Amino acid sequence: MFKIENEFKSANISRTVRFTEPLFEKLNKVATENDISFNLLVLQCCKYALENMSEDEQEN
C-alpha cells in the first residue's frame, strides 16, 4: 500500500519532467490534501513504482 513518508528531504538532483494536465491536477490535489510538496509526492510515487515492479519489468 502506498504510504506518504518524508524521507526525501535531501533530494538535490534537479530534472525537468512534463506531466499531462489531468495527471498534474491529481498529483497536486493529493499533495495538497496530505500537506506535502508536489516534489515529495512525485519522489514517493517513483519509489513505490520501482519497488513494486514485477521481476520481468525490472529485467527489461
Question: Mind listing the pLDDT tens digit for each residue in 1-59?
Answer: 777 666 777 788 999 999 999 999 999 999 999 999 999 999 999 999 999 997 766 66
pLDDT at 31: 95
Q: Which residues contact 2 (CB under 8 A, 6 or more apart)?
A: 44, 45, 48
pLDDT at 58: 61
At residue 60, does pLDDT exceed 80? Answer: no
Question: Mind listing the pLDDT tens digit for each residue in 22-36?
Answer: 999 999 999 999 999
pTM: 0.77
Instruction: Pull the grid cell for residue 25.
Output: 491536477
How far apart CA 9 and CA 53 sit, in angstroms, is: 24
